[in-house]
Chain A
Amino acid sequence: MEEKEHLQQLQEIRSLMERSTKFVSLSGLSGIVAGSIALIGAGIQYQYMEKAGRYATCLKVDREFIIFSAINFLSILILALVSAYYFTQRKAKKNHQSVWDSSSQRLMMNLATPLACGGLFCGVLYIYGVIGLIASCTLIFYGLALVTGSNFTLRDIRYLGFAQIALGFLAAIYIGLGLLFWALGFGVLHIVYGVVMYYKYDRNNG
């Protein structure tokens, strides 16, 4: 009879340790929306490059191309972040967890380091004119951020991270197809991840 009690105690200890260190309110819906935004953005970029005949020789770069791409990708980034924040705080409210507590701060800190390095490194690539590797670079550093961050949130994003890193290296090998791999990673993978997470965690909680 006591055994049950002891097992229960251990389970409670474990659950509290996890709940107090991990941010569990990441929403699957935000993955789906962010992925869709990335796909639309990649589509716009592709059309622009097609029209300008740049897809085959995408290393030929001029000022207009840079400005167009920068605005396009910055808008994708901002829209994706805003939607991720929106769905996450909605889920946090349902869980009675606050969006900005020590667990989410820890998660952000651990995501921020690899992401900031990735951003800076992309800047360096741009300065040297190695535009073709930027897609690969964003995928690899984003993947690293997810793998690190997975220690502080739902374990599952680790696999998303590994997949992004793998795509990043493929994008580096098939250098002309950077945009395609970028769309696969930030678009398709996010949507797949979002759907899986939604069915695994969110659906039952209404």
Chain B
Amino acid sequence: MKGIITNINKAFENRIRLGVMSVLMVNDWVDFSRLKELLEVTDGNLASHISALEKEEYIQVRKAFIGKKPNTSYAISKAGRKAFQEHINALENLIKARKQ
């Protein structure tokens, strides 16, 4: 049962980061305001966690304009999908291991 713990990803320990990744797992491109609405967080808070995920290269960023308003959307990257899946598997295994 060793080695399970190591798959628990520190990058996802925060509730908001976990939330961003969950939403991006099942949606193509999601813009900032939609993420904010789903996660019920403030602008600054969300922005800082998003940039942390960006630094890990777990998410992709796309900047565009809708009219004159800038609009930023995010999608999950290949590495992000893999890391998140491993994180979920690790969570599941931990719970299973406890139950035995």
A and B interact physically: yes
Interface residues on A, range: 10 to 19
A20 touches B30 (CB 8 A): yes
- CA–CA, A43 and B69, complex, Å: 52
CB < 8 Å: which of A17, A19, A96 contacts B25? Answer: A17
A47 contacts the other chain (CB 8 A) = no
Shortest B28–chain A CB gap in Å is 9
A13 contacts the other chain (CB 8 A) = yes
Beyond A6-B95, A10-B88, A102-B34, whether A21 also contacts B18 by CB under 8 A is no
- Taking CB atoms, residues of chain B closer than 8 Å to A10 are 88, 91-92, 95
CB < 8 Å: which of A2, A12, A21, A102 contacts B19? Answer: A12
Shortest B89–chain A CB gap in Å is 11
A3 touches B94 (CB 8 A): yes
B11 contacts the other chain (CB 8 A) = no
Shortest A102–chain B CB gap in Å is 7
- Taking CB atoms, residues of chain B closer than 8 Å to A13 are 18, 22, 88
- Taking CB atoms, residues of chain B closer than 8 Å to A6 are 91, 94-95
A16 contacts the other chain (CB 8 A) = yes
A7 touches B38 (CB 8 A): no
* B51-100 at interface with A (beta carbon < 8 Å): 88, 91-92, 94-95, 98
- CA–CA, A101 and B27, complex, Å: 12
- Taking CB atoms, residues of chain A closer than 8 Å to B91 are 6, 9-10
A16 touches B19 (CB 8 A): yes
B26 touches A21 (CB 8 A): yes
- CA–CA, A13 and B17, complex, Å: 11
Shortest B65–chain A CB gap in Å is 19
- CA–CA, A55 and B65, complex, Å: 59
- CA–CA, A19 and B18, complex, Å: 15
- Taking CB atoms, residues of chain B closer than 8 Å to A2 are 94
- CA–CA, A39 and B62, complex, Å: 50
- Taking CB atoms, residues of chain A closer than 8 Å to B15 are 12
Shortest A145–chain B CB gap in Å is 22
B15 (CB) vs chain A CBs: closest residue: A12
B residues at A contact (CB < 8 Å):
15, 18-19, 22-23, 25-27, 30, 34, 37-39, 88, 91-92, 94-95, 98
20 inter-chain pairs at a CB distance below 8 angstroms, sorted by A residue, are A3-B94, A6-B91, A6-B95, A9-B18, A10-B88, A10-B95, A12-B15, A12-B19, A12-B22, A13-B18, A16-B19, A16-B23, A16-B38, A17-B23, A20-B23, A20-B34, A21-B27, A101-B34, A102-B30, A102-B34
A residues at B contact (CB < 8 Å):
2-3, 6-7, 9-10, 12-13, 16-17, 19-21, 96, 101-102
